Structure 1
Amino acid sequence: MPRSNNLDALRLVGAVAVIVGHAYFLLGRPENDPIVLGYPIATLGVVVFFSISGYLITASWNRKRDPVSYLTARVLRIFPGLVVLVLVTVLVLGPLTTTSSVSEYFDLPRTWSYLTNIWLRPQYDLPGVFLDIPYPNAVNGSLWTLPAEFFCYLAVPLLMLWPRRFRPVTVAAFLVVSLWLGSVPPDQSPVVYGSRLSDAAGMWVFFASGCLLRLATERWGVRFFRTDVAVAVVSAYAVFIAVVAGKTPWVSWLALPYAVLAIGLASTPVVRRAARYGDMSYGLYLWAFPVQQVLVGELGVRRMLVDIPLVTAVTLVLAFLSWHAVEHPSLRLKDKITARVAARRGTSTPPTREAVSAEAPETQPVVVEGAGR
């Protein structure tokens, strides 16, 4: 079901921002990547996703506080679409685009190790695929944030384990640790699950801020968020960035999530109907990068004004199919699974259905590995 607020529309905007930002790298023009509010535009799109995710995931846990229902929802939201993407990439996209023979392609261990993406261990290349293009050896650079996102999913029950009055403290501690890890220079940061820990921690900061803002909402209500205040916050933040010569200030961890959620939780006619035909933000995230690489590598697209609209149109079709054929049917299994588990545990009342769209992550599209924060 679509929401009665602007969150779905904001996630679509975030997805398109990532497509735009990726285009500069994949077309070989990273020096022209737009900086918006102190961030590369693709990174800002990810900030939107993690901020919304922190808010919604905290709400999901606090609403029911049942580990089985919670983890089932998280797994069914992330993995079905990802599994289909990875299988199509290995079994269809790879053979069609590799410079190796098809038999050699399927004989190489590197082909099959790409399947580790299914359990959130990113591998970005396939043998002979996307070699002679501006951004080579990258089939889907967007996958690096999935482990970071899923880590946050696992962290939320632990952060909410404490009595209500202590939860803001535990989340704030997570935020501070994330700020510290995110400040480590890239060349000194360890690589965990295919990505620099500093990059992942840089997104955890915004997830934690979303968590804190959800806790504030539970205490003071949605009146805590006002669009006029959000506009003022963003304006003040933009001025602050200009004063510090374009560097991203530490205040972004609170200013941007507040603005995102204040705008997202508002209800604007037409805008609030963005998910009328399905929640396609995750599908856009999953499919946009390989579609962009196909257009560049196989069709020779080199013009920005051709690449971005074409990628967006093609990926929207794939995202629509992904939602209606894979993601939405998978989410409908949640109640059956949790009811079965409840029956085995002797629970008389099966889990209550949560709105399918409330289980969306909430993450999504992500920046090219190494594109910077």
Structure 2
Amino acid sequence: MGKRQLVLEDGTTFTGTGFGSMEQSIGEVVFNTGMTGYQEILSDPSYCGQIVTMTYPLIGNYGINRDDFETITPSIHGLIVKEVCDTPSNFRNEESLDSYLKANNIPGIAGIDTRKLTKIIRKHGTMRAMFTSTDQVLEESVLTIEQTQVMKDQVESVSTIKPYVVPGRGYRIVLVDFGMKHGILRELTKRYCHVTVVPYHYSAENILRLKPDGVMLTNGPGDPKDVPEAIEMITSIIDSVPVFGICLGHQLLALACGADTEKMKFGHRGSNHPVKDLLENKTYITSQNHGYAVRLDSLSNTKLELTQIALNDHTVEGIQHSILPAFSVQYHPESSPGPEDTNHLFDEFLSKIKSHQTNIKEGTSCQSVKI
């Protein structure tokens, strides 16, 4: 391990020890407040194009195991830690964090003041940065960052290329993959669902040809407005089939129903975010990872109802359609990593499907099922 620099787009420089891949990398620097779960974070496709700062000071102490991956090929652009553990100790450990990063060409830097970096992001908002060698001229690094185009194709790069099926005997679910975490699949297969995973640009016509009982819109990276084909698809299917959106899927559902989204100053990323369910008057601790949010004021001119809010900053965390069986949440009910307080939302989705089918048989109009 040699010396390495992290240069922010404003010229702020941190010098530390490099680990993982020694390649140069540019990405948007964000921070995650989770104390554990770094393996799930590294393999979460929603971090495509981003460099993640872990605020917990010691990372890597339980190593890497075969069971906790959220995707096969990670797309994170870098990892920043205060201290990296070289000798992990856990009964499931199979390799070190450094070894995993090397194998997947992911650069890392340790030994920098992650508290200072997090404070900079909280004050000035997320910004882009670059991993460089210590002999790189600062002005050249900043110029390289400025001249590197901001990623707009994150969803395309992490979505499945072709449809595939995960067989089951239960409800037939079409899962639109915008950067799906495996945790979502685990929750659906646990409930015996027959899941057909399709690419992000799959047309409404092709989805409806599959005769789904319900459609799930998954998490994913980037700006939801960079995926206009998905918004068009949702608009075309929402009258025909129950819909459940998670994270990016939540934002896309909102846009399809006429609401608006905006980029947050530094986003929500961690496993301890409190969310209040306004319908049940309950508070849940949730796992979150997003840099965009649905604008609260934009819901007023739509048929969407606010169902959940973030207690830290009162941003939109849940919505439902006032007539149709469609709802979504901004956080991750499949957790991974994080608390499992909101796993019941998958059951709520299946309940909406059952009610929808009952209404069709009885010839009555769809009414939303309150979550």
Please give the range of the TM-score, normalised by the shorter of the 2 chains: under 0.3
Larger RCO, structure (CA 8 Å, separation 6 or more): 1
Higher helix share: 1
Q: TM-score, normalised by structure 2?
A: 0.24
